[in-house]
Amino acid sequence: MSKGLRMMFLIHALVSVVGGLLLLIIPGRVLLFFRWAPIDPILSRVLGAALLALAWSSFRGWQAEERRQVEIVIELEAVFTALASVGLLRHLLVAHWPLVVWLLSGVFLVFAVCWIAFLVRRR
């Protein structure tokens, strides 16, 4: 497996752990800090749990020795981040949202581009 893909798994795992823990444990404080309202604590915690699950799969991908062991994980990450980018973009284009939503959309877009690039390269 390439060093770039291994690094991508590690970066994604770290970002997902931080975001996932914050949303799982203290969603209200985190989202209010970023002026993101209204807040649904149940869905925020579910998203936190999903991000932690994705972090675990990225950590396992980082540990993998061969590319074929992580093909499905790369596909999952590419689809998730691409759909999240599209979903956020839809809201950004029709309403006024705080800067943090634009930043979050950018993070998802960068991850989507990277995952799709690794998916297409198939090395």
pTM over 0.85: yes
Nearest to 5 by CA among 93, 69, 88: 69
Q: What was the pLDDT predicted at 79?
A: 97
Q: Amino acid identity, residue 23?
A: L
- Each residue of 11-58: pLDDT tens digit? 999 999 999 999 999 999 998 888 887 889 999 999 999 999 999 999
The domain limits of the chain are 3-121
| Contacts for 50 with CB less than 8 Å, ≥ 6 apart | 20
- Token representation of residue 43: 């869905």
- Each residue of 66-115: pLDDT tens digit? 999 999 999 999 999 999 999 999 889 988 888 888 999 999 999 999 99
